[in-house]
Structure 1
Amino acid sequence: MRPLTEDETRLVLEKLAHFMGKNIKLLIERTDEEHCFRLHNDRVYYMPVRLMLAALTVSRDRLASAGVCVGKFTHSKKFRVQVTFLDYLANYAQCKVWVKGSSEMSFLYGNHVLKTGLSRITEGTGKNQAVMVLNERDVPLGFGVTARSALDCAVALPHDIVVLNQADIGSYLRDEAHHPAAAL
């Protein structure tokens, strides 16, 4: 486990800024306890400094993870946010989309959010904006990118796509069904 380089930090913070905007300061400059980002096996983890210091006593080959996985770097060195960081994204996200109960399962099966499944959307959300997807009880379900702005949603047809699904909490179960040996 090592600190991120300047380029890696820039990529991570740029990706998180798509969701959080200026709220990313609240994630970095916490008042309760100092937190940090660390890289281990191409995965970026977010953790309290005291946990990071404790994890340093474990050898690299024996350390599975520490803290919350923010995302991972691909082979082409792009950064992808993972669903494991969903709670933090939901707390600090600027733009949110709420889906109706009838469309909740559809989204969790990996489908996009249609206009018929849209309950409400944050005012001022633009097209191609990274958004958090929540159910009507404010439980985070995943995240995606808007296919239409909030204004366009008002005049959209019932079966038009409003949010493109990037990740959802059902993806873990779908991945386990395809790769059951990976769980061992």
Structure 2
Amino acid sequence: MTLGPLCLVRPLTEAETKTLFSKLANYIGSNLVHLVDTPDDPHVFRLHRSRVYYVREEIIRQAISVPRANLISLGICLGKFSKTDKFRLHVTALDLLGRYAKNKVRARSSCSLGVRCRVISRRLVLSLVQIWIKANGEMPFLYGNHVVKAHLGKITEDTPEHQGVVVYSMTDIPLGFGVTARSTIDTRKLDPTAIIVFNQADVGEYLREEDTLF
């Protein structure tokens, strides 16, 4: 789709797509296919002011007539590219990460996007990893702190080090996401104050960073 001159929203380049998909696959594994192959309700990835959005095609068509200065956001903001082309997932992506990390859906055998599916094919073997924290660990996490062993409720078995994980409450409510500091095996040997998950984003950011998040 060609967008009008008023709305500077563009498709991602192949390099940007590869970077984005690599980051997403670290959290949701092969379920990434269900974001890129949506024939019943077509969605696309679009870049606007360095931020990547996951948007219904219908909304993109409506956004064509919106002046760039007036367009604040559209669809789901997944994150932002830095000036050095590094991509950081934002907490606004948590709804998708939580949904697909929890629901271990079998990936489709084919994908209508061709080259984009080949871009992510190397990451499809990743397992889905989750962590649940105890009630007394929720508030520290929502204030931006890392997860320590004392607050760990349970974690997916055989989780490796530096693996992306979605963090849930013990009642299965997504609270944020992060990266494991240690493997599951190493975690068992640590003392209660040791960090086991580095906080990458949490829902507390909606209050702490409300002026800059969108």
Look up the SS of the partner of 1:155 in the other structure. Answer: coil
Q: State how far apart, in whole Å, the 1-side matches of 2:144 and 2:71 are.
A: 31
Which residue of the partner structure matches residue 142 of structure 1?
Answer: 176
Structure 1 length normalisation: TM-score? 0.92
Q: CA deviation at 1:75?
A: 1.4
Q: State how far apart, in whole Å, the 2-side matches of 1:143 and 1:91 are.
A: 12
Which residue of the partner structure matches residue 81 of structure 1?
Answer: 89
Structure 2 residue 202 is the aligned partner of structure 1 residue 174: no
Instruction: Give 1:51-130 correspondences, 5 Å limit.
Output: 51-93=59-101, 94-130=128-164
Report the aligned-residue RMSD.
1.5
Q: State how far apart, in whole Å, the 2-side matches of 1:25 and 1:124 are.
A: 23
- % identical aligned pairs: 49
List structure 1 segments (4+ residues) > 6 angstroms apart after TM superposition.
none
Q: Structure 2 vs 1, CA of residues 123 and 31 (structure 1 numbering), >3 Å: closer, same or farther?
A: farther
Deviation per residue, 1:59-109 (Å, 9 max, x gap): 222211110101011111111110001010111121111000011001001
Q: State how far apart, in whole Å, the 1-side matches of 2:154 and 2:52 are.
A: 32
Query: Greater share of strand residues, 1 or 2?
Result: 1
Structure 2 length normalisation: TM-score? 0.79
Q: State how far apart, in whole Å, the 2-side matches of 1:92 and 1:152 are.
A: 26
Structure 2 residue 31 is the aligned partner of structure 1 residue 23: yes
Structure 2 residue 193 is the aligned partner of structure 1 residue 159: yes
Look up the SS of the partner of 1:162 in the other structure. Answer: strand
Structure 2 residues not aligned, in runs of 5+? 1-8, 102-127
Q: CA deviation at 1:156?
A: 2.0
In the alignment of these two chains, the number of paired residues is: 179
Instruction: Give 1:12-51 correspondences, 5 Å limit.
Output: 12-51=20-59
Q: State how far apart, in whole Å, the 1-side matches of 2:209 and 2:47 are.
A: 23
Q: State how far apart, in whole Å, the 2-side matches of 1:31 and 1:19 are.
A: 23
Query: What amino acid maps onto 1:171 in structure 2?
Result: E
Deviation per residue, 1:118-175 (Å, 9 max, x gap): 0000112111101011101111111111011112222322111111111111123222
Structure 1 residues not aligned, in runs of 5+? none
Larger relative contact order (Cα-Cα within 8 Å, sequence gap ≥ 6)? 2
Query: What amino acid maps onto 2:42 in structure 1?
Result: E
